[in-house]
Chain A
Amino acid sequence: MKFLRDTWLVFSRQMQLMLRQPVWLIVGVVQPLFYLLLFAPLLKPALGVQTNAEAYKLFVPGLLVLLAMFGSLFTGFGLIAELRAGVIERSRVTPVSRLALLVGRSLRDVVSLLFQAALIVVIAVGFGLSVGLLDVLAAFALMAIISLMLSAFSYAISLKLRSEDALAPLLNTISQPLLLTAGILLPLTFAPTWLKRVADWNPFSWATDGVRALFAGDPGADSVWQAAVVVGGLTLITVVWASRAFAKGVR
């Protein structure tokens, strides 16, 4: 009860602050828009498809997973700024739930991601993408889970490192290989076998496959439940670990 109340307090406060800064929206939407308008047409020959609409069916799911990963993985920077300003320390001397400080912030990240994702899908539909509503909602659920996992991870790590200078290279080192082997921008259909084996170990590769199946209108595909299990399990583990690290870091 107290946890839910505190989480709501933190979440609504963070939302309020975020909405005051429209920059996040512009950056978060304009960038993917560039991908949609400038990059997707290039893909037509590579993907062997005739129309933009077909290219979007393959490309938009990857773009969404990309967004979920990068939108959430770097949120720790904000926490470091808060640590430096003394805001976290001030919260810590109150009886507020420690876990709520983490979850409230992560939920804000999830909401902002879902908003961006919805905007992109709407725009892509405007350009000819066709996809079922339920399939999109299922895909969004997957992305919400990814976002929760990575933002919790990011907060826990940044609390340990407490410095932007250490956080930036670490996150880049983690995110680059994950991104490249997830088949995000292009499906791994053309990848050599060894690369596919590597990708099997990348949970985001599973997620991308799942989201692609949903956008292809095939929610019953194996890749969908597999994505749910892989991402859901990993999120559970990460959130438990992160909240422990967080609780220890902010005691």
Chain B
Amino acid sequence: MIETKGLRKSYRSRAGRETKVVEAVRGVDLSVKEGEIYGFLGPNGAGKTTTLRMLATLITPDGGEAVIAGADLLKNPGEVRRRIGYVAQGGSTWDESTAREELVLQARFYGIHKAEALQRATKALDAFQLTEYADRKTKTYSGGQRRRVDIALGIIHGPKVVFLDEPTTGLDPQSRAHMWVEVRRLRDEGMTVFITTHYLDEADALCDRIAIMDHGEIVTEGTVDDLKREVAGDVVTVGVNGAGTKATELLRTQEYVRKIEENDDHSLRLYVDEGAVAIPHILRVLDTAGVELKQMELHRPSLDDVFLTKTGRSLRES
């Protein structure tokens, strides 16, 4: 549904007398399948918005090519526009308009005639639970209500692909969960959803596949499960009574332990290929050395672990 090759964009920005070139996106190859929710994950300034704006025909790439919903981005941007929807990171409502007016006009911009546009607006308002406020000026809406209007505007014409740039940033946990439901519903209606986010849990819960972007490049790409497996099979947390350093020394030399870290609470984090195989070994080593075991836990690595291994930084700190 979306195929890109070597998409590039750099910005020239002036700071005082010097012109600096920011390479915002440096060669992005993507392949998004029809009907999936594809997540674009990365810290501030990674180049997510720039990539999306290129795909939505808003800025011209410096290089590379893309085909979106069967239309060529460079040769036929007009056709791309007809087939996609785009919801900007910064919102798009006009304070003095009502949601219904905005929706009707937006539909009519796509060539839909008036009666049909009105009908679609009513349906969209209903689907996004906006009917109650539909005829109030948008400046009276809450952040979450505004965000829902933005998304309703992006899909009013029934696009094949919709790009959502951080649809949940700034929403409370409940509105966020609501938004996830809406996004899944769009997918169930047959739309391909391309979504950017800072939130690992969001990517984890919502996306069929994700790409992690950092400094304008895609560092890794795949299903969430595959990516986690790739990092290290499993993570075993071991809590010992007082003998943390000794346990670390003992376990570090075991060949099934890929990496070992000490947590803040002095428990140990062991990255191993296969938890079920490693645990009996760990138990035996500690028992032989007379180290008393307090607790032991086995869990799959989180997306944060993936990000950490791929970029050397934690997403939370960047």
Interface residues of A (CB under 8 A from B): 2, 6, 9, 13, 16-17, 20-21, 82, 85-87, 89-96, 251
Nearest residue, chain A, Cβ from B111: A95
Q: Which residues of chain A are within 8 angstroms of B82 by Cβ–Cβ distance?
A: 95
A-B contact pairs, 16 of them (CB 8 A): A2-B111, A9-B108, A13-B105, A17-B97, A85-B91, A85-B95, A87-B94, A89-B92, A90-B88, A90-B153, A92-B57, A93-B56, A93-B57, A95-B81, A95-B110, A96-B109
Interface residues of B (CB under 8 A from A): 56-58, 60, 78, 81-82, 84-86, 88, 90-97, 101, 105-106, 108-111, 153, 157
Shortest CB-to-CB span from B284 to chain A, Å, is 62
Assess the A93–B58 pair: CB atoms within 8 A. yes
Q: Which residues of chain A are within 8 angstroms of B81 by Cβ–Cβ distance?
A: 93-95
- Complex CA gap A6/B92 in Å reads 19
Q: Which residues of chain B are within 8 angstroms of A20 by Cβ–Cβ distance?
A: 96
**Contacts known (A90-B88, A93-B86, A251-B60); A21 close to B109, Cβ less than 8 A:** no
Given A17-B94, A85-B94, A94-B157: 11 more A-B contacts, CB < 8 Å = A9-B105, A13-B105, A17-B97, A21-B96, A85-B93, A89-B58, A90-B106, A90-B153, A93-B57, A94-B81, A95-B78
Shortest CB-to-CB span from B87 to chain A, Å, is 9
Q: Which residues of chain B are within 8 angstroms of A94 by Cβ–Cβ distance?
A: 81, 106, 109-110, 157
Nearest residue, chain A, Cβ from B83: A95
- Complex CA gap A92/B57 in Å reads 9
- Complex CA gap A91/B157 in Å reads 13
- Complex CA gap A20/B101 in Å reads 13
- Complex CA gap A16/B101 in Å reads 10
- Complex CA gap A19/B57 in Å reads 33
- Complex CA gap A188/B84 in Å reads 58
Closest 4 CB pairs of A and B: A86-B92, A94-B109, A90-B92, A96-B109
Shortest CB-to-CB span from B165 to chain A, Å, is 11
Shortest CB-to-CB span from A32 to chain B, Å, is 25
Q: Which residues of chain A are within 8 angstroms of B111 by Cβ–Cβ distance?
A: 2, 95
Nearest residue, chain A, Cβ from B78: A95
- Complex CA gap A9/B105 in Å reads 8
Q: Which residues of chain B are within 8 angstroms of A251 by Cβ–Cβ distance?
A: 57-58, 60
Assess the B88–A91 pair: CB atoms within 8 A. no
Q: Which residues of chain A are within 8 angstroms of B105 by Cβ–Cβ distance?
A: 9, 13
- Complex CA gap A16/B82 in Å reads 26
Q: Which residues of chain B are within 8 angstroms of A21 by Cβ–Cβ distance?
A: 96
**Contacts known (A91-B109, A93-B81); A82 close to B94, Cβ less than 8 A:** yes
**Contacts known (A86-B91, A87-B92); A6 close to B60, Cβ less than 8 A:** no
Shortest CB-to-CB span from B121 to chain A, Å, is 14
Q: Which residues of chain A are within 8 angstroms of B86 by Cβ–Cβ distance?
A: 90, 93
Q: Which residues of chain B are within 8 angstroms of A82 by Cβ–Cβ distance?
A: 94
- Complex CA gap A93/B157 in Å reads 12
Shortest CB-to-CB span from B58 to chain A, Å, is 6
Assess the A92–B88 pair: CB atoms within 8 A. no
Q: Which residues of chain B are within 8 angstroms of A95 by Cβ–Cβ distance?
A: 78, 81-82, 109-111
- Complex CA gap A95/B159 in Å reads 13
**Contacts known (A13-B105, A86-B90); A93 close to B95, Cβ less than 8 A:** no
Assess the B96–A17 pair: CB atoms within 8 A. yes
Q: Which residues of chain A are within 8 angstroms of B92 by Cβ–Cβ distance?
A: 85-87, 89-90
Q: Which residues of chain A are within 8 angstroms of B108 by Cβ–Cβ distance?
A: 9
Q: Which residues of chain B are within 8 angstroms of A89 by Cβ–Cβ distance?
A: 58, 88, 92
- Complex CA gap A95/B57 in Å reads 11
Nearest residue, chain B, Cβ from A20: B96
Shortest CB-to-CB span from B183 to chain A, Å, is 19
Shortest CB-to-CB span from A184 to chain B, Å, is 33
- Complex CA gap A16/B105 in Å reads 12
Nearest residue, chain B, Cβ from A97: B109
Q: Which residues of chain B are within 8 angstroms of A90 by Cβ–Cβ distance?
A: 86, 88, 92, 106, 153
Shortest CB-to-CB span from A22 to chain B, Å, is 13
Nearest residue, chain B, Cβ from A96: B109
Assess the B88–A86 pair: CB atoms within 8 A. yes
- Complex CA gap A17/B56 in Å reads 28
Q: Which residues of chain A are within 8 angstroms of B110 by Cβ–Cβ distance?
A: 94-95
Nearest residue, chain B, Cβ from A13: B105
Shortest CB-to-CB span from B44 to chain A, Å, is 19
Nearest residue, chain A, Cβ from B138: A85
Nearest residue, chain B, Cβ from A91: B109
Q: Which residues of chain B are within 8 angstroms of A85 by Cβ–Cβ distance?
A: 91-95
Q: Which residues of chain A are within 8 angstroms of B97 by Cβ–Cβ distance?
A: 17
Assess the B58–A92 pair: CB atoms within 8 A. yes
- Complex CA gap A194/B90 in Å reads 53
Q: Which residues of chain B are within 8 angstroms of A96 by Cβ–Cβ distance?
A: 109
Q: Which residues of chain A are within 8 angstroms of B57 by Cβ–Cβ distance?
A: 92-93, 251
Shortest CB-to-CB span from B246 to chain A, Å, is 59
Q: Which residues of chain A are within 8 angstroms of B153 by Cβ–Cβ distance?
A: 90
Q: Which residues of chain A are within 8 angstroms of B78 by Cβ–Cβ distance?
A: 95
Shortest CB-to-CB span from B310 to chain A, Å, is 31
Shortest CB-to-CB span from A248 to chain B, Å, is 11
Nearest residue, chain B, Cβ from A2: B111
Nearest residue, chain A, Cβ from B79: A95
